[in-house]
Structure 1
């Protein structure tokens, strides 16, 4: 553990100092790209999200699934920026364009669904709220994959996109709670900081730590944080 933390804090010079629910969820302990069967229909996850775009209807899922396991083994957090998709590789970052109002959001696919005819993606509550989807419940969207998941294999080597990545630890409406967590993280980890974000009419204080230049480093740092007790930590592109 100490070696890995040292890597993520020192190798972080490269990491210089974030409607209707689906009918059924896939519950697995690890990410998988194997075909699976739901309600008598087989689904075949694609091996690579590079260049993927899709247009169709989006919906969202919230408190009924909050705290339950997602398809990649994470605990579903309705306040995180995540989504469910039937075939994209788990871990793929997707930009969602609401074609009704022009609003966009970036989400990470960590679950399977929605298994409702005509729908292509299920957003978390926070993601749905950000693009004005909570009220209507369903809207026409276009989605575009931004990057493959960390560790995605192409040919005979792993491919990692470069960029600015950090690890989100939590999101709070109470600024004091967020500031206290930043102070606690700053004692042990590099670049603990707080980001203010409006989600609809609500102001959230998102606490993040670390800054990595590749998804590979960010995925390793995410593991460090989860092992350190922050079970809902996840990678965020900044």
Structure 2
């Protein structure tokens, strides 16, 4: 813990250069914990390092923010990395037999130069400039949509590695995926991870901005009218009665498929004094 604290303090003292072109600003190094080590694996020595390292900004491709998302497709399970169970740091993890229906929320981190060019858990080569990720229990490979719950930014990645084994983190993203989610500088971010079925076509991701939620429908109508008066033509009320109790009347804007339009609307709401939250239906 003392080593991690020292690393964190050192990172806090780092002055970040200004971004060049389409490159994200060089981030602080993101602490990354070791992945399972096969004593017969010639790459095992990479796990001896205490912390990960971001690439030098001169090494980052100019179009890093335009790297296309992974495209889900049907693939056979990898021969490596899919044992029914494995243990790391005294804890046993059981690999899911099927990714379908998987959904979880928690913190995401990213891993970079320390692992670049090394073997992943399923025997592929880790390329931090591709849209990949590490997960503790999803079958390898799997495809998931990762959405930042605080900003609504979303990417699709291919899971081909194991990790992260830091408490409280549910997925480790490649450098490219973290760049597109705008989380390089902060190191970790709250996300929702949803497995995608490669057999089914992917519908565009619809996002909503919830401005308020009321048990009293009259209050919801008043808020909707306020938003309409401010020029938010998409303001509407969604009734949520899935929990079997009194229905909840959510005042929302959307749905949004275009990410830039959604982010612009969120910013406009903030300037008007509203604090909206992202939601999906």
TM range (shorter): 0.5 to 0.7
Q: 1:135 aligns with which of 185, 201, 206?
A: 185
Higher CA-based Rg: 2
Partner of 2:171: 121
The answer as to whether partners of 1:25 and 1:70 remain within 8 angstroms in 2 is: no
CA distance in 1, matches of 2:37, 2:106: 22
SS state of the match for residue 179, structure 2? helix
The answer as to whether partners of 2:32 and 2:166 remain within 8 angstroms in 1 is: no
Partner of 2:35: 24
Higher strand share: 1
The answer as to whether partners of 1:26 and 1:111 remain within 8 angstroms in 2 is: no
Partner of 1:79: 129
Number of equivalences: 134
Q: CA deviation at 1:30?
A: 2.2
- Structure 1 residue 61 and structure 2 residue 111: aligned? yes
CA distance in 2, matches of 1:25, 1:78: 19
SS state of the match for residue 71, structure 1? coil
CA distance in 2, matches of 1:77, 1:132: 19
Higher relative contact order (CA 8 A, sep 6+): 1
Which stretches of structure 1, 4 residues or longer, exceed 4 Å deviation after superposition?
A: 26-29
The answer as to whether partners of 1:33 and 1:46 remain within 8 angstroms in 2 is: no
CA distance in 2, matches of 1:105, 1:162: 18
The answer as to whether partners of 1:33 and 1:89 remain within 8 angstroms in 2 is: no
CA distance in 2, matches of 1:25, 1:132: 28
CA distance in 1, matches of 2:162, 2:37: 6
SS state of the match for residue 136, structure 1? coil
Q: CA deviation at 1:26?
A: 4.8
SS state of the match for residue 196, structure 2? strand
CA distance in 2, matches of 1:65, 1:25: 13
Residue 77 to residue 136, structure 1, CA distance change in 2 (3 Å): same
Q: CA deviation at 1:163?
A: 4.6
Q: Gaps (5+ residues) in structure 2?
A: 1-29, 42-78, 203-281
CA distance in 1, matches of 2:94, 2:33: 18
The answer as to whether partners of 1:26 and 1:70 remain within 8 angstroms in 2 is: no
CA distance in 1, matches of 2:83, 2:201: 25
TM-score when normalising by structure 2: 0.45
CA distance in 2, matches of 1:129, 1:71: 23
Q: CA deviation at 1:20?
A: 2.0
The answer as to whether partners of 1:26 and 1:112 remain within 8 angstroms in 2 is: no
Superposition RMSD on alpha carbons, in Å?
A: 1.8
CA distance in 1, matches of 2:132, 2:154: 13
